[in-house]
Structure formats: structure tokens, C-alpha cells
Structure 1
Amino acid sequence: MTVLGAHAIGIANIAMNGTVLDTWYPSPQLDVNPSSSGTERLGAHDLPARLLSLVRLDEDRMVEQVAVRTTIADLSEPPQDAHDVFLRLHLLSHRLVKPHDINISISHLHPVVWTNKGPCLPDNFEDVRTSLRSRGLIHVYGIDRLPRMVDYVVPSGVEIIEAERVRLGAYLAPGTRVLREGYVSYNAGTLGACRVEGRLYSGMRIGSGVDVGISASLVPGQGQMTVGNDCSFGVSCAVLGINLGDNVHVGNNVVLDPETPLYYAHDGQTLPASSLEGQSNWSIKIESGQPVARAI
């Protein structure tokens, strides 16, 4: 049986208490049937010349930057540690694997202060800020387990208006536009050219030609959810935990979860919205105060 794994050489930021703040893998690669999993620190002789200057002690941030080699024997197994998680996130944003194709969780990651000078521990950040002021103004992008994707990976052929609204681990196909109010989490994304002005939560995968309108939300129910090709989602609508096929159009302000009563105009039945599971060619709009489905 073929087992898909991965390996990469990267630079990790490790706080003085041993917390792994991040690991950057510039050139991750997939493996078939690798023999083992784990992360090892590398010496200078193991590093490409372009990474040598990044191995150092950053006393102002109280962080050590070290070179590591991470190997994952089986991407279908849960991550072992923070290095493992960051490699999986890079694989997604480099488009080497797609959302739903690997086992991924961020439970091994810790909250980090993400700054323009590098990641820092939250607990001592005010002391660190004072030290870093000698390097100029400090910009704090957020305090979160995940950083912005574009600080680690910039995929070709995409448009992202607000960098902080796309997390590392997002998968964006060429031609995708994430507009100012759009948001794409890790292990979520687009398989073809799409317009995203709403929110794609972790575990959400949409096909090609999908338009996610402003303030629309696509929320997986049990960890994963799929939308097919050529669908659209209107302003402030939401779909929670219902997989949809192709050519499904959800109108403005429609909210659908599996238990939402949905009136089918062609036969007069009212069924739970879960009846849409996997179906194609529907238009759902609010009519007389309730969501109504009409075949296209």
C-alpha cells in the first residue's frame, strides 16, 4: 500500500523556554513510503548556503533561530509536534496537498505574538517590545496560533487584499481573489478560480467558479464540508454542515443548517435542509419569510 509522507528543511524560531513559535519550510516535498517521522536539528554543513545566515540567536526577541529537518512518514496520521504541524500547513499553502487530503490539527501550537520583527512569546512581550524598539517601530499583526499565509508562502496567480485574513495552511487555486472582507482559514480553500468576500472556515473546500458574497459564511459541521463548482452565496447568508453539489445558489440572508425547514416549490414539500446534501442545480431564496428551494 502506498503511504504519502513529506519532508523539508526549515528554520524554526524557538523561545528560551523551548516553545516552538514557528517553522518556515521554503521548499517542502512529498514522499512515498518514507521510513520514519521526526524533527532533527541540523549543522551548518547540512544547510543550503542561502539559509546559513538565518541560524542565530536573537537576543532582543529572546528566541533562537535553528535549522531543522522534519520528516512525516504518513500524512494520514495526526501530527506529532509543532514542527510537524507547520510542515503540513506549508504543504497546503504550497498546493502540494488539498484540504481534506491530510490529517491536520493545530492542537500542538501555542499562541504567538506575530510581529514584523518575527514571532515572540506573549508572556514576556512587553519586555521584548522595549528591546526591539532599537530596530524601529514594532507592528503586531495579531496574537494567535497561526500566522498570515503570505509571510511564509505566496502562491502564484492569486489576489489577497488583506493579508491577515488568509491563514497559513489555506489552499488558494490560481485565479482566486480574496477581497477585503474575505477570510480563509487553514485546511480550507478553493480548488479553482473563485471570488471570496465571505468566510471559509477550517475544513471548507469549494470548487471552481464559486462566488462567496460579503459576510457569507461556509461552516463545516463535523470537520469537513465541500461545495461543488459554479455556486454562489449571497450577502450575509450561511451554510452550516451541508455538502453541496454544482450550480447551487443561496440567496441573501438565507441561513441553512441540517435542521432548517426548507420548502421545495416544485412539489410543495417542506423538508430539513439536510435533504440538499450533495445535490446540484438549486436556487434557495427567502420568500414570504422562509427559505424556498427551486430547481434550476
Structure 2
Amino acid sequence: MSTTLYSLAFGVGTQNRQGQWLEVFYALPLHAPASELVDTVKPLLGYEGGNQAIAITHQKATELAQALRTLEPAQSALLTRLAESQRPLVATLLAEDAALTSTPEAYLKLHLLSHRLVKPHGQSLAGIFPLLPNVAWTSEGAVDLSELAERQLEARLKGQLLEVFSVDKFPKMTDYVVPSGVRIADSARIRLGAYIGEGTTVMHEGFVNFNAGTEGPGMIEGRVSAGVFVGNGSDLGGGCSTMGTLSGGGNIVISVGEGCLIGANAGIGIPLGDRNVVEAGLYITAGTKVTLLDDQNNVVNVVKARDLAGQTDLLFRRNSQNGMVECKTNKTATELNEALHAHN
């Protein structure tokens, strides 16, 4: 009987002196790998099912490479290279998309996102934070914080400098994968687990969190928080804060449709439909009271912003005279009322 998996990957990583994983690099992760491949590697790994991260020796990597030579040449070539390394190796097999149970599993799911194999909110990341150790990301890779001072001293005694770039649970994405067709001005501002779509430009002040990203093409000049997925042709202006929420039981996604513009120092707490504009400096939460104007600038209704979630061709602005948040549309009053009733 053939076996199917949610994901499979062979990786090389870093462990601390107690043998605990700090991080794992998967050069060629697979989403829904072919059953023939899975059936070939199962007996070699002693895999009997479930979600597992199996440490493999360099000899085992060689055996796997030979077994996959004709079936999966790319994976075979990778395993041949892994067998040459002196670093810890791991084979991670996910039978299903379930809550995470190990650091190698967590890193595999982050890789699936950044390799564009799964979109934000497309898989379970429940339990990820306790499984990602807080480490020092240095010029020599990941270093356990309890070992950092000694490593710094060792470097100094050799006349070298161990530079610490950050202390965090998440590394920067470009140390693991650089997606095709993107421009990233400051790679330190893109976390592993970000989904950066083809044609996306992230400017110097842009930030993209894990489990968030852009479908592309588009420009990011502000913050894309966890759970937010930005549609094609959208522009998030400098300093904007597009807020999503990640919770233990699942993700709450705030999507941004195609052709949207969120101005500088603006932000949203609701999903936007296509061709929406939020003026600079305006922050809209789900409970924000919004005065709705029709195509003739007549007041149609006063609603909460959540009632406008996902609707197209809206302009959100603040009235400079009375301070009220207004929403302008190209619909007539009748069309607008029909759209609101249909939404509710």
C-alpha cells in the first residue's frame, strides 16, 4: 500500500552542546511528495507513520541518495551533498498537517511558506513558539544563548569577532531561501516563514512577518503582520501597520485585495476588497465608526468598519473639519444599501 505525506524534507542544521536543535535548513522541501518516493525512503528511515523528525547519519544519507538516484535526482543530489557535511542531519516527515511537536517540524513548515509551497493561513502552525528556541543569530550561524559568551571569548582569543546580528526565535528568510523575482532592500526585515510573491518589492522600511506575505506583484513600504496576505498590485505605504492576529488555536487572516493602497502611517484591522484606498495616517479597526457616503457625497449610513470588510472600490479618509472617518464609494445610495444588506 502506497503512503502519502503532507510534507517531506531532508535537512542540515545546528544543535547546542546538549544535542537540542537550534535551527534546520531544508534546501528542497517537498509538499505532498510522490508516494513512490515516500515508499522508497520509509524502510531506510524506519518510518512507521505520524509526524516525525528522524536524525540520520552521513552513511544513511548516502544510502538514501543511492536509493533515489533515478526516482528523484534532485533529492538524491541533495542527499549526496548532505552526506559530505559534518553537521547534524535530519529527515522530517509530516503525515498530516497537525500541531507541531518538534523544532525540525516547525522549521519545515516555515520553509514551506517561504518556498511558496503553502500560502499564509494554509497550514497549522499551532504550538510553534515554544518549539523555536530563542538564539543568537551570528556571523557563525545560530548560537545557543547559554553558550554565546564562551563562543565570543573563543573568537576574540583567535583575533576574530563573533558578530551578533539579532537575538530572536526567527531567522531572516534570505539566510534560508531567496524566492525568485523579488527585490528586498533590507533582508533583516523579512522573517523565515514569510511568503514573498513573484514581482514583490520590499523597501527599506518594509517588514514581513512569518505566516504573512504578498501574492505579488506589489510594493511593501510598511509592516505586514502575521496572518496578513496582500493581493496583487497593492502598495502598503511607508510606516503603515496592517495588523493580523496569530492565536494558538488557528489564524485570523486579514487579506488585502488587488490594487489597494494603504498610505504612510495608516493601518487596517479589517480585510480589504480590491481597489481600496486608506489615506495616510488613518488607522481603521473593526469597531471604527465610519460615515458612509455615496457617489454624490450624500450620507447613507453610519456603520462599523467591519461591515465594510471585503467590499471593493472604497476610499477611507478622515474629514479634516469634523474628524469623522468617512468612506467614499462610487455606488449610488440604493446600490450601497443593497451591498450592505447582502453583506450582513
Q: Does the alignment reach a TM-score above 0.5?
A: yes
User: Which structure has greater strand proportion?
Assistant: 1
Instruction: State whether residues 234 and 252 of structure 1, in contact with CA within 8 Å, keep that contact through their aligned partners in structure 2.
Output: yes
User: Which structure has greater helix proportion?
Assistant: 2
Tell me which residue corresponds to 1:50.
81
Matched, 1:101 2:122: yes
Shift of residue 19 of structure 1? 2.9
Instruction: State whether residues 56 and 90 of structure 2, in contact with CA within 8 Å, keep that contact through their aligned partners in structure 1.
Output: yes
Higher alpha-carbon deviation: 246-255 or 23-32: 23-32
Supply the distance in 2 between the matched residues of 1:109 and 1:233 (Cα, whole angstroms): 32
Supply the distance in 1 between the matched residues of 2:206 and 2:5 (Cα, whole angstroms): 32
Tell me which residue corresponds to 2:324.
290
From 92, 112, 115, the counterpart of 2:138 = 115
Supply the distance in 2 between the matched residues of 1:29 and 1:150 (Cα, whole angstroms): 19
From 238, 259, 262, the counterpart of 2:267 = 238
SS in 2 for 1:174: coil
Shift of residue 262 of structure 1? 0.8
Could you list the per-position Cα deviations for residues 168-221 of structure 1 after superposition, in whole angstroms to 9, with x for gaps in the alignment? 000011110010000000010011211001000111111100100000011114
Shift of residue 73 of structure 1? 1.1
Supply the distance in 2 between the matched residues of 1:220 and 1:190 (Cα, whole angstroms): 14
From 282, 305, 310, the counterpart of 1:278 = 310
Instruction: State whether residues 152 and 161 of structure 2, in contact with CA within 8 Å, keep that contact through their aligned partners in structure 1.
Output: no
Instruction: State whether residues 202 and 223 of structure 1, in contact with CA within 8 Å, keep that contact through their aligned partners in structure 2.
Output: no
Q: Which amino acid aligns with 1:295?
A: T
Query: Where do residues 106-145 of structure 1 align in structure 2 (5 Å cutoff)?
Result: 106-107=128-129, 108-133=131-156, 134=158, 136-145=160-169
From 103, 110, 118, the counterpart of 1:82 = 103
Instruction: State whether residues 114 and 195 of structure 2, in contact with CA within 8 Å, keep that contact through their aligned partners in structure 1.
Output: yes
Supply the distance in 1 between the matched residues of 2:324 and 2:84 (Cα, whole angstroms): 62
Instruction: State whether residues 92 and 171 of structure 1, in contact with CA within 8 Å, keep that contact through their aligned partners in structure 2.
Output: yes
Tell me which residue corresponds to 2:65.
none
Instruction: State whether residues 24 and 104 of structure 2, in contact with CA within 8 Å, keep that contact through their aligned partners in structure 1.
Output: yes
Tell me which residue corresponds to 1:72.
94
Tell me which residue corresponds to 1:228.
257
SS in 1 for 2:151: helix
Task: Indicate how the Cα distance of structure 1 residues 24 and 270 shifts in structure 2: closer, same or farther if over 3 A, else same.
Answer: same
From 215, 218, 224, the counterpart of 1:191 = 215
Choose 1 or 2 for highest CA Rg: 2
Instruction: State whether residues 248 and 282 of structure 1, in contact with CA within 8 Å, keep that contact through their aligned partners in structure 2.
Output: yes
Supply the distance in 2 between the matched residues of 1:135 and 1:207 (Cα, whole angstroms): 49
Shift of residue 17 of structure 1? 2.6
Shift of residue 83 of structure 1? 0.6
Shift of residue 278 of structure 1? 1.4
Instruction: State whether residues 114 and 173 of structure 2, in contact with CA within 8 Å, keep that contact through their aligned partners in structure 1.
Output: yes
Instruction: State whether residues 184 and 200 of structure 1, in contact with CA within 8 Å, keep that contact through their aligned partners in structure 2.
Output: yes
Count of aligned residue pairs for this structure pair: 284
Higher alpha-carbon deviation: 101-110 or 134-143: 134-143
Q: Which amino acid aligns with 1:74?
A: E
Supply the distance in 2 between the matched residues of 1:46 and 1:124 (Cα, whole angstroms): 30
SS in 1 for 2:252: coil
Could you list the per-position Cα deviations for residues 69-122 of structure 1 after superposition, in whole angstroms to 9, with x for gaps in the alignment? 0011112x1112111000000011111111111111422111110011010111
SS in 2 for 1:131: helix
Supply the distance in 2 between the matched residues of 1:135 and 1:78 (Cα, whole angstroms): 45
Tell me which residue corresponds to 2:30.
29
SS in 1 for 2:88: strand
Tell me which residue corresponds to 1:263.
291
Tell me which residue corresponds to 1:157.
181
Identity of aligned residues (%): 31
Could you list the per-position Cα deviations for residues 223-280 of structure 1 after superposition, in whole angstroms to 9, with x for gaps in the alignment? 321111110100100112x111101110001111111111112252221111111111
Higher alpha-carbon deviation: 156-165 or 284-293: 284-293
Task: Indicate how the Cα distance of structure 1 residues 42 and 4 shifts in structure 2: closer, same or farther if over 3 A, else same.
Answer: closer
